[in-house]
Structure 1
Amino acid sequence: MKHRLVFAAALIGFLASVVAAWVFGIQQPPQPPVFQPAANPYAHGVYATGIVESDQSAGANVNLYPEVTGTLTRLYVHDGERVKAGDVLLTIDDSVQRANAEQLAAQALAAQALLDELKAQPRPETRDVADAQVQAAQANLKMAQDTYAKQKQAWDIDPKAVSRDVLDSAENAMHVARANLDVVARQDRLTRAGAWVYDVRNQQGQVEALRKAAASADALLAHYTLRAPSDGIVLAVNTAQGSYLSQQGVYDTYTQGMAPVIVLGTAPERLAVRCYVDEILISRLPQPGQLKGRMTVRGANIAADLTFERIQPYVTPKIELSDQRAERVDLRVLPVIFRIEPQAGLRLYPGQIVDVYIAAR
């Protein structure tokens, strides 16, 4: 009985192992890939990593930085909004600069008023006062001359009738009156001559200086309003109302670096790809007029033809795509810019990384 149980258990184990071997030996059909990896469509193609950016006539996306510092008071645009050249994007607190500009403008007006006053001299009222002073001095001289003449006539008739001291006093009074008339006459000529030409020139210089200072303050005041330099679309707004803006941009808490306040690009239907070709593969590229390429979107079965735009003739270290400030590499790359041919169902965004193959010799 015991041997039968052992034999049955062994038979069951054998059958189980056979079934298990048969089950696990069945080959499952492979799952289809989520997307097809990028393949070289050319007989001789050069691979390059590319980044999608706005199709600018020169350069890449436009990074906007304020020329002044201050607190953001109002934001007029949002991500993805289309703008035209000259549209207001944001404003910065300009209360101090506005007061400074108004003060300089008021000083310029005051200086101009003083210049007008100098050019308008002499006033009619001032001339009337000067004329009256001359007439009063003439009358005083006439009275002094008459008094002296009477005293002198009495002295000539009888020297004892008038003392010598009285006669000398009358003569001195006449000389003083004549000198006073001369002073008043000179003062009258000075009054009628008006402002001195050098005083007018000096005041004209003051007016010009203050006007230029006021114009400079107004020009600086205009910089507290950030405007769109060209038509385009707002790709990114990296600030919010109440944030502090500097000429270096805004602090990004994620990258822990400074970022542009606003990134401006072209419309999404006008996109380009900036490819970075390894320096050891540059010699394999054909003439610029014969360059053509094809890109593949990573993680998707999407491909598109590329039309050559231009080459940036400056080989640089390959740090553009990694965004590592402290990165040290020996590899250098040549930027080649292609325009993306639009097609149905193609949806791309600036900053997206794509795989690019360029037809080589």
Structure 2
Amino acid sequence: MIRKYLLPILALAGIVLGIAVAIQGAKQVTPAAPVSQPAHSPYRIFVAGSGLIEASSENIAIGTTVGGVVARIYVQIGSQVKAGEPLFTLDDRTHRAEIALRENAVKVVEAQLADARDELAFNEGLSNTGAVSVEDTNKRRNTVRVVEAQLAQTKAQLSSAMTELEKLTVRAPVDGQVLQLKVHLGEYAPAGILGTPLIMLGNVTPLHVRVDVDEDDAWRIRSGAAATACLRGNKDISTPLKFVRFEPYVLPKRSLTGDSTERVDTRVLQVIFSFTRGDLPLFVGQQMDVFIDAPTRSFSAAPDKAAKEAAP
């Protein structure tokens, strides 16, 4: 008896469940409120782009030409440095011992040269009396020349050793601020190009914004164009920008926004703007939404160029 009514009941329950799921799925989902309101352009006609804050000297990855153990660090994160000031020094005990050895070698050769010159002067003083032969005097004169050459070579070796010692102290190439410090006392600092630089340095007065402009809109940007940047995530933090230059090579876009209509093969023109940070809470590496004042998409040749093309 139970089996007779079980299948119809299960079928009816399935139909009811299907109707309930369909009704639930048909309900309009209320979109979630955005975390922050999007920025708006202050210009009526504009080109928008994604910008990245960087140092005006560009972000300089500091490395070392020779590897070694870090012995001294002269800066901290955020330190302001002048060009030529030391950043860190590698262990230099071996090089200092080499310099001491070279200095002693110079003193030895200098003493030999002084002795050779004295003997030459003595021989030259007796040459008129015939007590010494001309050949002996010439031999001593040649000895002086040989020792002088040895002295020059020894001094060159000392200079080379001092140059190698100087390489162990890495100095700031430009005025700027220490943006990152990834080197620590006692660690081995490898030479060459590193994935993570030992020190990131850059001039932050003023700051620059590197803006990616889609190649379809690149022709609309004019040199000296006005622009405004808003901090990504807070449209109330904004600043006017001053045009600096174009990066004339159009390159593939590296940072995609995730827009479903965006092409992976998009190429962008990079435009550099500058601004003074002042009291704004802006830092190197932050993203900004940039709006550039630009003409409409209609394009006409300049009057003088059009006249030349129309001339017979």
Quickly name the TM-score band, shorter chain normalised: 0.7 to 0.9
**3-state SS in 2 of match to 1:112:** helix
How far did residue 342 of structure 1 move? 4.3
How far did residue 104 of structure 1 move? 2.2
Tell me how far apart the structure 2 counterparts of residues 31 and 280 of structure 1 sit (CA, whole Å).
32
* Contact map agreement 1:248 1:260 (CA 8 A) in 2: no
2:57 corresponds to 1:121: no
Count of aligned pairs between the two proteins? 256
* Contact map agreement 1:122 1:192 (CA 8 A) in 2: no
Distance 1:343 1:107, change over 3 A: closer
Unaligned residue ranges in structure 2 (runs of 5+): 1-29, 257-263, 296-312
Where does 1:193-272 land on structure 2 (aligned, <5 Å)? 193=137, 195-248=139-192, 258-267=195-204, 270-272=206-208
State which of 61, 65, 68 in structure 1 corresponds to 2:66. Answer: 68
* Contact map agreement 1:295 1:303 (CA 8 A) in 2: yes
One-letter amino acid of the structure 2 residue matched with residue 266 of structure 1: N
State which of 268, 290, 296 in structure 2 corresponds to 1:356. Answer: 290
* Contact map agreement 1:114 1:203 (CA 8 A) in 2: yes
How far did residue 343 of structure 1 move? 5.8
* Contact map agreement 1:71 1:244 (CA 8 A) in 2: yes
One-letter amino acid of the structure 1 residue matched with residue 38 of structure 2: P
* Alignment-derived partner of residue 283 in structure 1: 219
* Alignment-derived partner of residue 91 in structure 2: 93
1:311-360 deviations in Å (ceiling 9; x for gaps): 222223333x58xxxxxx6333222111125465x211101111112122
**3-state SS in 2 of match to 1:105:** helix
RMSD of aligned residue pairs (Cα, Å): 3.0
2:55 corresponds to 1:54: yes
1:107-160 deviations in Å (ceiling 9; x for gaps): 222222222221110587x99xx9xxxxxxxxxxxxxxxxxxxxxxxxxxxxxx
* Alignment-derived partner of residue 209 in structure 2: 273
Tell me how far apart the structure 1 counterparts of residues 287 and 43 of structure 2 sit (CA, whole Å).
21
* Alignment-derived partner of residue 303 in structure 2: none
Tell me how far apart the structure 1 counterparts of residues 113 and 276 of structure 2 sit (CA, whole Å).
67
How far did residue 249 of structure 1 move? 5.5
1:56-83 deviations in Å (ceiling 9; x for gaps): 3xxx122211121101112121111222
* Contact map agreement 1:305 1:341 (CA 8 A) in 2: no
State which of 231, 239, 242 in structure 2 corresponds to 1:307. Answer: 242
* Contact map agreement 1:118 1:194 (CA 8 A) in 2: no
* Contact map agreement 2:71 2:91 (CA 8 A) in 1: yes
How far did residue 207 of structure 1 move? 1.3
Larger Rg: 1
How far did residue 106 of structure 1 move? 2.1
Where does 1:5-16 land on structure 2 (aligned, <5 Å)? none
Q: Could you state the TM-score of these two structures normalised by the residue count of structure 2?
A: 0.72
1:214-271 deviations in Å (ceiling 9; x for gaps): 1121012111111222322111101111111122255xxxxxxx2221111224x621
Tell me how far apart the structure 1 counterparts of residues 207 and 188 of structure 2 sit (CA, whole Å).
32
Tell me how far apart the structure 2 counterparts of residues 279 and 33 of structure 1 sit (CA, whole Å).
29
* Contact map agreement 2:174 2:203 (CA 8 A) in 1: no
* Contact map agreement 2:120 2:141 (CA 8 A) in 1: no
Distance 1:247 1:36, change over 3 A: same
Tell me how far apart the structure 2 counterparts of residues 31 and 41 of structure 1 sit (CA, whole Å).
27
Tell me how far apart the structure 1 counterparts of residues 103 and 270 of structure 2 sit (CA, whole Å).
51
1:89-108 deviations in Å (ceiling 9; x for gaps): 11101122222222222222
Tell me how far apart the structure 1 counterparts of residues 111 and 43 of structure 2 sit (CA, whole Å).
79
One-letter amino acid of the structure 2 residue matched with residue 83 of structure 1: V
How far did residue 309 of structure 1 move? 1.4
Tell me how far apart the structure 1 counterparts of residues 266 and 141 of structure 2 sit (CA, whole Å).
72
* Contact map agreement 2:207 2:274 (CA 8 A) in 1: yes
Unaligned residue ranges in structure 1 (runs of 5+): 1-28, 131-184, 251-257, 323-328
1:282-309 deviations in Å (ceiling 9; x for gaps): 11112x13x1211121111322211111
**3-state SS in 2 of match to 1:218:** helix
One-letter amino acid of the structure 2 residue matched with residue 354 of structure 1: M
One-letter amino acid of the structure 2 residue matched with residue 271 of structure 1: L
**3-state SS in 2 of match to 1:339:** strand
**3-state SS in 2 of match to 1:196:** helix
Tell me how far apart the structure 1 counterparts of residues 137 and 289 of structure 2 sit (CA, whole Å).
86
Greater strand share, 1 or 2?
2
